[in-house]
Amino acid sequence: MGRPHMAPAQLVAYLRMNGFSAKSFDLSLRFCRWLSREGGDLDAWEADLARQYVALQEAARKGPPTRSDRDAARRLVELISAGSPRILAKCLGPYVLASTLPKAHDRPGAPRLSYVSFAQHHGIVRAPTMTHLLQRVSAPLDSDPFFRFCASAEGSDLIDQLSDCDIVGVSLAYWQQLFPSLVLARCLKERSRSPVVVFGGNQITLLPSDTLDELMRSAWVDFAVPYEGETPLRDLMVALRDSLPWEQVPSLIHVERDGTVRRNPLARPIDLDDLPTPEYDHEELLLHDPAVTAGDREKVPRRLMVLATRGCYWGKCAFCDYPAATGPHHTYRVRSPARVVDDIRCLQQRHGVADFELLTESLPPQWPRSLRPASWRATSRYPSARSCAPRVLGY
């Protein structure tokens, strides 16, 4: 939650460079903040956990607790420990010393750790079959937390903005995002003016063929793009604008009239030095800092990500899916150190950020040495090249 993902900002920059209007929204963060609002779903969830704990404590005063009661109390303590100090102090004051309450930031609306247990309880992070997911998204959704977010004032405003677009691309970094993404797609398709919905990201790339075919035949998704999205999305926007056949769009997965799922030939791997600097939206960046208030609009996350490599130059680890997610030929590419330095300098000037994180699945040991202080130009914020020297924090 502390820093935004780089891939959407990189894609936005690439599409804008090619003459298209583009914008990204971090719906995962917005949803989490909505759940964490004062009096919201997470507050109610944590208060219910606290009430269960109080009931067990009261029962223990009347007689020895059973083994199941002790196990239940232990589980509740684990869940409660990730909760809001504000809620815990209110509900558990007689039972818990104030000094033992979590010291985490507790501004209403700030994402907090209890989201994980809430998500597991409500099935947000479970991984059923694609058939089950599609059946569930077609059923009434009134009890689903993400659907309620989409129906809220904030969510409805976002749906309205997305509905005015020609194409809405949904990036799926994790399997757990698939069901909420389908809920979003359904909300968009039910509008009078519905955009073209494209699913992409690592999870679309890694889905088994039969599972992806089932997804593509659903009513909610128009296209899918595995692997890299820059070239396919650019060409898809050109095809929509100029009424060109879908077969001309590389890497595009779509359904023919007879129900056959067609996979177009893959796009050629893009030269990383041809990509522009990521374009992070300043208003979106503000959402990543829970300390930001209406009168403090200049704050942004302390760290931003820049692209260094894609793929893995080793590519032989049996436990790792990174090579499979970068293409059938496991093409390994490196962005030149000079371009990375340009990205860092540009983002520092735009957003005033002092720390940057290199996005890379694997980094050759010699590469960081190319980021020598001599390659940095002194700025008013960093008056000497020495203050801009890179630090390798881990490898």
The average pLDDT across 327-341 equals 83
Q: Confirm whether 166 is domain-assigned.
A: yes
CA 237/CA 239 separation, integer angstroms: 5
Residue 72 has pLDDT above 70, yes or no: yes
Residue 300 has pLDDT above 70, yes or no: no
Pairing assessment for the beta strands 261-263 and 303-307 based on DSSP bridges: unpaired
Q: Confirm whether 268 is domain-assigned.
A: no
For residues 220 and 308, membership in a common domain is answered with: no
For residues 308 and 376, membership in a common domain is answered with: yes
Q: Confirm whether 378 is domain-assigned.
A: yes
The pLDDT value recorded for residue 97 is 52
pLDDT in tens, 100-138: 555 544 444 455 556 667 776 776 666 578 998 899 899
The secondary structure element, H or E, covering residue 224 is strand 223-225
The pLDDT value recorded for residue 295 is 47
For residues 190 and 142, membership in a common domain is answered with: yes
Residue 304 has phi, psi (to 5 degrees) of -120, 160
Residue 326 has pLDDT above 70, yes or no: yes
For residues 135 and 230, membership in a common domain is answered with: yes
| Residue 216, amino acid | M
**pLDDT range class, residue 294, cuts 50, 70, 90:** very low
Contact 304, 277 (CB under 8 A): no
For residues 66 and 91, membership in a common domain is answered with: yes
For residues 67 and 139, membership in a common domain is answered with: no
CA 102/CA 330 separation, integer angstroms: 44
For residues 170 and 212, membership in a common domain is answered with: yes
Q: Confirm whether 34 is domain-assigned.
A: no
Q: Average pLDDT of the chain?
A: 81
Which residue range forms the structural domain that includes residue 98? 41-108
Question: Collapsing DSSP states into helix, strand and coil, what is residue 170?
Answer: strand
* Domain count along the chain: 3
The pLDDT value recorded for residue 153 is 94
pTM for this model (two decimals):
0.83
DSSP-assigned letter for residue 122 = T
Q: What percentage of the chain has pLDDT greater than the value 90?
A: 38
187's tokens: 């909300």
The pLDDT value recorded for residue 355 is 82
For residues 17 and 151, membership in a common domain is answered with: yes
Contact 305, 5 (CB under 8 A): yes
Residue 31 has pLDDT above 80, yes or no: yes
For residues 80 and 134, membership in a common domain is answered with: no
CA 224/CA 246 separation, integer angstroms: 12
For residues 198 and 246, membership in a common domain is answered with: yes
Q: Which of 233, 263, 293 is the last residue of a domain?
A: 263
Q: Is the dihedral of CA 11, 21, 288, 356 positive or negative?
A: positive
**pLDDT range class, residue 82, cuts 50, 70, 90:** low
70's tokens: 């002790």
Q: Confirm whether 115 is domain-assigned.
A: no
Most confident of 81-85, 271-275, 368-372, 385-389: 271-275
pLDDT in tens, 148-164: 999 999 999 999 999 99
The pLDDT value recorded for residue 392 is 54
Longest dimension (CA), the chain: 77
For residues 176 and 55, membership in a common domain is answered with: no
For residues 130 and 218, membership in a common domain is answered with: yes
